[in-house]
Amino acid sequence: MKSAPLHDIGKVGIPDQILLKPGKLSADEWTIMRTHAVVGADAIEQAERDGDRPVEFLVLAKEIARWHHEKWDGSGYPEGLRGEAIPVSARLMAVADVFDALISPRVYKAPMSFDRARDIIRDERGRHFDPDIVDAFLARFEDFEAIARRYADSEPGTRSATPFAFAPPVSAP
């Protein structure tokens, strides 16, 4: 709960003209955007070193920040980890992050319906996402939808931007 909100902290190091771009990112822009995972993990690691004592939630936050864009099939970034080599914390965050990105407005897209977001995540089972985590997500989908509705800034379909509103599109160039 404390670690997940830091998943995109590395985006503070990404230029606004990339974060706020209303269209698709160019290959060069996408290369820069992808650095946010390592930048974020490095920033959290520096915070750990600067602290007076260990802070337990930063250990998970660092894992999540670095590896939440890895994909089950090995096609993700920054390291191309595959399957169970991806920390469980990052595999969980991957599903949560994509679900939020799909149902939230972005500068480059309108929010999707909950059903469409569910179907996309289901279809990426075993490719983008850990099959067991997708199965758990689908089994409790109504709970995820209820939580999203509860914490939405407005009615679904008209939600205002979330704190992580500038996540890149699900499919990269």
Residue with tokens 């897209």: 109
Number of other CB atoms surrounding residue 102 within 10 Å: 21
**What is the arithmetic mean of pLDDT over 69-92?**
98
pLDDT of 164 over the 70 cut: no
- pTM score of the predicted model: 0.85
Whole-angstrom Cα distance, residue 71 to residue 60? 18
pLDDT single digits (tens) 8-42 = 999 999 999 999 999 899 999 999 999 999 999 99
Domains assigned to the chain: 4-151 (1.10.3210.10)
The whole-angstrom separation of Cα 62 and Cα 65 is 5
Burial (CB count within 10 angstroms: exposed 0-12, middle 13-18, buried 19+), residue 142: exposed
Q: Are 43 and 6 in contact (CB under 8 A)?
A: no
* Per-residue confidence (pLDDT) for residue 154, from 0 to 100: 56
